[in-house]
Amino acid sequence: MPANDPRETVELPPCPAAATMPVREAIAGRRSVRSYADRAMPLEALAGIVWAAQGVTSPDGRRAAPSAGALYPLSLHVVARRVDGLPAGVWRYSPEHHALERRGEGDRRTELAHAALRQHWLDDCAAVLVLAACCERTVHKYGRRGERYVDQEAGFAAGNAWLMARALGLDAAVVGAFVDADVGGVVGLAENQRPLLLLAVGAGGDAIPDDRPPVA
C-alpha cells in the first residue's frame, strides 16, 4: 500500500533473500567498525536493515523487534549519504508501509557527526540509522519503569539491524555519545521524541583486519 505522499516516499524492496548467513557467523563477525570504504550501499540492503530493526512481521502489526505491551514507541530515521536509489537526506522509516518518508534534504551526516561529539569517522559510512522514541504511551502503562523498557527496545532493534547488516556483508557501529538536542535538530525530531542511539552502516574499509568468516 503506498504511503500518504508518493512524492516524498520511497517504497522499499523486501528484505534480500540472500541474507541467510548463519546467526552464529553473523554474531562472531560483529565488530564495531569505524572505518568505511567510500562506497554506496544498495537500497535492498538498507531495506533489509530497517526491516530487521522495526519491520512489520505479523498481520496484526507486530514487529521484528519486541516491544513492551506491543506499544512500539520507537521511531527509526535514516541519515543517508550514499545509498543507491535513495537521495541523500533524512528519511523516516514507515513500518506499516515498509517505505521511507523524506524528512530533510541533502547530506546531513557531517552535522550528525558533529552532534555526536565530533566523531567524524561517521562522515564515511553510507548511512546512519537514528533510533528515537516517544516514551509517553509506555510510561503511561508501566510508570517510570517504562523508560527502561524503551531503552531496552532500542537495544533489540539495533541488534537486529546490526546482525542483518553483517548477514548482507556490511558493517556497523553503535554510537551513544551525542548531544540529544543536536541529533534531534538534524533528524527533525518532535519535542516529545528523544534520540536513543545511532547506528552507522556501510562497507567496512580496506584497513580493517578481516579474519572473519566469509559472507555468502
Return the number of the residue (11 or 147) whose C-beta is nearest ligand FMN: 147
| Closer residue to ligand FMN, CB minimum distance, 47 or 203 | 203
Sequence-ordered list of residues with C-beta below 8 angstroms from that of 84, at least 6 positions apart, any chain? 40, 41, 42, 43
Residue 4 or 152 having the CB closest to ligand FMN:
152
To the nearest whole angstrom, how small is the minimum distance from the Cβ of residue 177 to ligand FMN? 3
Number of residues that make up the chain: 216
CB of 158 to ligand FMN, least distance (A): 9
Rank residues 10 and 115 by Cβ distance to ligand FMN and give the closer one.
115
- Do 47 and 95 touch, CB atoms closer than 8 A? no
Distances (CA, A) of 93 to 3, 76, 137, 187, 215: 11, 6, 20, 12, 27
Cα gap 25→90, rounded to integer Å: 32
Nearer to ligand FMN, 31 or 39 (CB): 31
Q: Which residues bind ligand FMN (CB under 6 A)?
A: 31-32, 34, 119, 173-177
Residue nearest to ligand FMN (CB): 176
Is the distance from CB of 73 to CB of 132 less than 8 angstroms? no
As measured in angstroms, the least distance from the Cβ of 176 to ligand FMN is 3
- The least distance separating ligand FMN from the CB of residue 33, rounded to whole angstroms, comes to 8
CB atoms near residue 148 (< 10 Å): 13
